[in-house]
Amino acid sequence: MPTYEYQCNSCGLRFEKQQGINDSPVSVCPECKGEVQRLISGGSGFIMKSAGVSMRDTAKSCSFEETGTTCCGAKQRCGQAPCGD
């Protein structure tokens, strides 16, 4: 369920509300009962879930010893996971 951000035109209160995509937008400020507008925000990232290969599995299959490069393509170990494993 998405979280929407609102700001009151009267008192300036900024608040968030979790709503379904088909729900009507909030129109009244919970503090002063003034008119609010929905803000355009950066949103959030998304998490991709899969039963497939994880990054840790990939790190094991592309080890420096096997391929001559790290997972990020470096010609030497970078010392940071997952390449530094």
- Tell me, what amino acid is at 5? E
* Cα–Cα distance, 29 to 13 (Å, whole number): 8
Average of per-residue pLDDT across 24-52: 83
- Does 60 lie in the same domain as 33? no
Q: How confident is the model at residue 1 (pLDDT cuts 50, 70, 90)?
A: confident
Q: Per-residue pLDDT tens for 13-30?
A: 999 999 998 999 999 999
> Based on the structure, what is the number of domains in the chain?
2
- What pLDDT score was predicted for residue 60? 47
- What pLDDT score was predicted for residue 21? 87
| Domain assignment of residue 14, given as a range | 3-39
Please check whether residue 14 lies inside any domain of the structure: yes
Q: How confident is the model at residue 43 (pLDDT cuts 50, 70, 90)?
A: low
* Cα–Cα distance, 57 to 38 (Å, whole number): 42
